[in-house]
Chains A and B, each alone.
Chain A
Amino acid sequence: MSTLSIDHVSRWFGNVVAVNDVTMTIGPGVTGLLGPNGAGKSTLINMMGGFLAPSTGTVTLDGQPVWRNEQIYKQIGIVPEREAMYDFLTGREFVVANAELHGLGAKAAARALATVEMEYAQDRKISTYSKGMRQRVKMASALVHDPSLLLLDEPFNGMDPRQRMQLMDLLRRMGAEGRTVLFSSHILEEVEQLASHIEVIVAGRHAASGDFRRIRRLMTDRPHRYLVRSSDDRTLAAALIADPSTAGIEVDLAEGALRIQAVDFGRFTALLPKVAREHGIRLLTVSPSDESLESVFSYLVAA
């Protein structure tokens, strides 16, 4: 059982602040590190893995500093986001080399390859592997020494749905065994399926922490915003505002469109086409203006 503590950690590159005063504790089980692209997740994971010094603050694993401490890697397994991994070796040679660097042998490597179900392709060169196979061999190299902390940077990137399911099962199992598993992702659905506990990073700041459902509810409590263009904006606006699913409508003259805030997502999406048909109005554009993960996160930051 290991606990990773991030204490008032900031990291800047020149004038750019990538991670801003983040404090969090990652305990046993699966934790998702969620945030839009460029939010600082990789920077944070690099600091957790000891590959980047915090500009201020400390990262410790069970009280031991992670930075400039090679011995800490006896307890940490790392699955980096980058693809490069000694492509001239076979999968087996690669995992055996990783085992040897931990002072272990071929037996540990064979066990790790079996865990990720890669025995069938272990004697093929890594350069011939698909993305999912590479990811699994990376997993095997990270698991070879039976670490108590597993750090995975965007592990599902580029995987097909089947491979994704397999890796999720494996990570769930690791978490259930009492390991501390932290993975980063910018895809809400991935995190939803795998982690009950999440840490949210937005623009380098720690935006939210805790149970996924609670945070998701916080997100859905916010009104949904739509931009609608129609053949008769004002008639449509009048008809929509009469229904309780709509909280507010603004006529945007510059855009020639309506900006609608809907509080009941399900009811509104059924209401809009119905109202349009009843009044003989043609809908020209209906586009959600805040569905992106980033705008959902910005609610969290503001919350």
Chain B
Amino acid sequence: MYDPTVARLTYRGLLGRRRALVLGALPVLLIVISAVVRALTGADDQVAHDVLGGFALATMVPIIGVIAGTGAIGPEIDDGSVVYLLAKPVKRPTIIFTKLIVAIAVTMAFSALPTFVAGMILNGNGQQIAVAYTVAALVASIAYAALFLLLGTVSRHAVVFGLVYALVWEALFGSLVSGARTLSVQQWALAVAHKVSDSSLVTSDVKLPTATVLLVVVTVAATWYAGRKLRTLTLAGEE
């Protein structure tokens, strides 16, 4: 199911281009903001919760997910170089699964790790806030990577759609419309984080069983459908 060559090509494509700069910019920003906030306000649990919940989980994780998820396959489909993967006796679901693993790993590395560091800077993991948001970022990384990998497989405008989802749906609707929160990766991840960390500040609008089922269903369904789409991917001529 996992092909090391596909993984290597995907890692190098993701981390070798300008994407790496974009991927690195947001975590750096988070850590800088955390350091400044800590210096100005001192260790404050509520502030730590606001920064990690409002910026790290609501904005940074989905954007990193968009960049890594769509970037794991979208550019290859766009420029046609995916033909070198497709013209091989390698099962298409294997290609998708491998790319998913890479996208998850990159999203986790660029979102969960900085979230933990920022949490430690902000309040030294008081009330388990750093751990809780790190868990949330890890969980969300999986679902986002799967969703945006699918988007990268089916659309040439994956980054735009991904950003609209991440910023408009998750960040805006999620905070304004309560119904939208049920269908929000962020809320599912928070439900898991709440259970794992037992932090009273980190809560979710979605119950844990619902969140777990939705996380698994979305991840599996998105990956399965992406594999299916890749199997019938049409590389139209340039005529």
Contact = CB atoms under 8 A, between A and B. Distances in A.
B237 A45 contact: yes
A43 B234 CA distance: 10
Given A46-B237, A52-B236, A88-B16, A101 B90 contact: yes
B157 interface: no
A81 interface: yes
16 contacts: A43-B239, A46-B236, A51-B87, A70-B88, A70-B91, A72-B89, A73-B89, A78-B87, A82-B79, A82-B83, A84-B79, A86-B9, A88-B13, A88-B17, A97-B84, A98-B88
A85 B81 contact: yes
Nearest to A67: B232
Contact of A81 (B81, B92, B238): B238
Interface string B1-20: 00111101100110011000
A53 B234 contact: yes
Contacts of B177: none
Contacts of B236: 13, 43, 46, 52
B21 interface: no
B156 interface: no
Contacts of A84: 79-81
Nearest to B233: A51
B17 A101 contact: no
Nearest to A85: B81
Given A51-B233, A101-B6, 13 more contacts: A46-B234, A51-B83, A52-B237, A68-B231, A71-B89, A80-B80, A84-B79, A88-B12, A89-B12, A97-B5, A101-B84, A101-B85, A153-B237
Q: Most A CB atoms within 10 A — which of B3, B9, B233, B239?
A: B239
Interface stretch (A34-42, A116-124, A175-183, A238-246): A34-42
B237 A42 contact: yes
A118 B80 CA distance: 23
A42 B236 CA distance: 8
B83 A97 contact: no
Interface in B135-161: none
A216 to B, nearest CB: 25
A102 interface: yes
Interface in B99-155: none
Contact of B84 (A43, A88, A141, A153): A141
A73 B237 contact: no
